[in-house]
Amino acid sequence: MRLINTKTRELKEFWGDEIPRYAILSHTWEQEEVTFQQLTQQPREEVSKLKGFAKIDRTCKLALGSGIEWAWVDTCCI
């Protein structure tokens, strides 16, 4: 399972019993959603300008505010 670190916005894979507690963002896809390829292969400066990155950023901030260090976002964790 791929999860986003809510502090760094970096992806990490977890397996089996290692999967930590995480928040979930699943939503209707619109224009400029951030894909796995973009998040892992493009410079963060470019990716963060996409409209869809704002959803990821807000999810991470909300999760972190609740003490949750990881998030799953359907557009880039699948």
pLDDT at 4 > cutoff 90 = yes
* Domain segments of the chain as ranges: 2-77
pLDDT at residue 27, rounded to an integer = 77
HEC readout, 11-78: EEECCHHHCCCCEEECCCCCCCCCCHHHHHHCCHHHHCCCHHHHHHHHHHHHHHHCCCCEEEEHHHHC
Residue count of the chain, please give it: 78
pLDDT at residue 78, rounded to an integer = 81
pLDDT per residue as tens digits for the range 25-63: 887 788 899 999 999 999 999 999 999 999 999 999 999
Q: What is the pTM of this model?
A: 0.88
